[in-house]
A and B are shown apart, each in its own frame.
Chain A
């Protein structure tokens, strides 16, 4: 059974946050090397979040780069009132949703990497790989807001309140989105598994 956050984790989070705050202060003071350090610290999670939302590495890289440039522009206005990552994710979420809408408006055809069919029943595919492909397809098939809520909750480890702060949606809206999203996923995964078995 899972446990809550331990005191060690709280110490880790606080230390991490204060380190980010310190880097932001250096950046605001004109020390550009702090931006590189911030990028090294957070690029992994930023890229993952953008990729899970956009399903394209090219777009994810663009979003990640723009995120850090915006960080630089906003450094002087930054006040460490909320968790640094919540603020950072907010930038990524907004940029990703913008990119997604632009792509939809442009009517871009799905790139091969975006289009994940149900995995063929390849005897060499392990059950784990098969499951991963099913999950990816099921998450990608969710409506935009449900998908974003699930990605932030399941893959970025944000709680309901943090998702609300990150997206700007009310906490009750986030909770309702998550309940519907998980119910959808349960149904989709069961259906896909039946189709494959």
Chain B
């Protein structure tokens, strides 16, 4: 994983081209109630230096106009340091909004660190900041000693720490502000090489010792000092990327400008933690998030979750991370599109599952949208929506939750599940400045008994959401190109499958050419990407005016998109052209297809018969009117459409 993942804040959605327009709209908006949330939404994107500056200007001008920025919480931060802070200040103001903070910065003249903290009448102290970011790096400290001189090295370290202690004491005394101290990153130019760590008086040894002493200082003064672990940030991206000698030489930028958005995010999450805004609950999706594969299709034996399997191990790491978070007080919940009983199978029967039902406070497995489910979880746990984080591999679910519940933290995830733990931790949702005894017990306090709770009204404007997806549905009869995928779906789909009839590739080829068969392969793409083939239909002529729907299956990935309605409309369209007056549908129950038990009823079919084993038969008279869903329809390969075009021409 390259440093670019962190540097570009890859867990945040990319900023749209409309960024400048949206800034202007907020500025002109008269709807003052919504401004704070709008700023937060705008800030919850990966912004570059210029965009951060734009957003900071907007926030400053709104504050200047006395606009109400709630629900953002005010915070006044003093900035002192030995480098140029001009680029850091706007980045902090904009980034703080991402973490729910309306930040005001108090700047001091370049290099005037000691004067500003010692004088109670200085600009800094009179501004009465809540905290002061002491942005000092190794260049600011008297870290000079002859190499090899242990006594001189110890003295240099002591002198540096004394300086930190002086700053902390003065800020506490003069303006009762918390000092935010930065651990020191080690520049990437060793004097000897590996020996630098051993020999007293080298940069590396002096910085190591200073950091150790600084940590002690912060631990001793937990009410007046907190640590910003810049050394860890620099080490994570690599110190050769972090430091930029030319930018320091040109303008005294303390670290490379491309790292400013990452640095600002770390500062902002610390400020949010100081204001008690640490998130408290991690909501986990299941299929392809907690295990590889789809439990409803693959079964307990088929999902990937085992040591010795690269894919399985990736998912075990995610579970391990969830358990570690739980151990430090983060509540775990589940939201999954599944049958409840199916979703619980791995928790009960898979020997390698690390997360168990007793670890889960609320367990929501159903076919409703995730925004409604997260809202229900929030209400049950009596936690605000801003306490929640959703981990979900499906980009469409993430987009839906982000747009309907903007307070919920929803990290973008890389393609490879092995990197999910990095993405989740890099996003910093659970940044804390202390660990209390209460924290350790919190998860247990919520009594993880995997409760299921009832949903209130759906929180989502489904019609607007579906429209925003810009879906395009493509209908084609079976053909040679689609044949392999068609037969794969026919043999693999278990959940959304009305009859679960399995056919070989040869059977599929035969259906292609059978004049008594009507077939459909259906593809769906949306603004997030191409979902590929998502539905397969086979109808057989049962009598001269009747088609019987032999096979109807669909990928659960596109549930809730009204694809079923569109498919029925398409079947009806072709049926009518063929002079068909009636469609017959069957439901053959299996252990896994409960979700489509009422499929035909929902589509307006009437029940013809029901057998004791649960098999049902349904019929629908044609013509029928079906309200179209908001999607563009493309048809390819139908003989009659060629005729249509010819006719129109």
* Bound pair (A, B): no
